[in-house]
Amino acid sequence: MAAESRARGPGQLPFRAGGPRADGATARARAGRPRSAPAEGRRPSRGRGLAVSPGRRLLAPVVARHVTGEFLRVFALALLAFVAIYVIVDFFDRFDSFLRHEAPPDAMVRYFLFKLPLVVTQVTPFAVLAGALVGLGLLARHNEFVALRACGVSVWQVATPLLGLAAAISVGVFVWNERLVPESARRWHAIEDLEIKKRGVASVFTGRDVW
């Protein structure tokens, strides 16, 4: 054995017992060994990072309701505030005309009541903008955005309810403006000309085409 090692020289590994036959038998044994089958019910984790967990899908409706509630609350308050400011400014702008023509109080009240549909149409876009900005600002102020992001909620899931509400309000304002505003405008123009400024019917038709 020592003489065989000296014949191979330094740096060479000794031959395995059995030579090439032993190596071939080992390879065949490994090739014939059955591979461990994957556990039943387990699937490859391909695209695991892109999959949406069931908990996140259950959280999406809750987030939509919460964001919708915040937006509608601020939108309603902003709409009432803008309508009140508009009516107050319009009242003081026409106050001298009311005094000069000695307008009866009930005519003034009905004048502004019939003018409300037009006022709502004009201030609704500003109320929607205020509702979106203030609602999102309240969520950010209470660190709710951080909590939502930590739960895996994306910015798109937060913005989707707001976009849907804005589209629905736009359609509603369009229908409101086409159906209700023209009739109410005819009413408050008639009250202004006939009851407040006390013009005759002929002057109403000739001076300004209200109808």
Structure tokens belonging to residue 135: 């609602």
Neighbours of 134 (CB within 10 A): 17
pLDDT of residue 43: 52
Question: What does the pLDDT look like over 144-180, one tens digit per residue?
Answer: 777 777 777 777 877 888 899 999 999 999 999 999 9
Q: How far apart are CA 108 and CA 177, in angstroms?
A: 23
Q: How far apart are CA 198 and CA 204, in angstroms?
A: 10
Q: Please give the torsion angle defined by the CA atoms of residues 197, 199, 204 and 210, in that order, rounded to the nearest 10 degrees.
A: 30
Residue 100 has pLDDT above 50, yes or no: yes
What's the pTM value of the predicted model, to 2 decimals? 0.63
Q: What are phi and psi of 102, to 5 degrees?
A: 50, 55
Radius of gyration of the chain from Cα atoms? 40
Average pLDDT over residues 45-74: 66
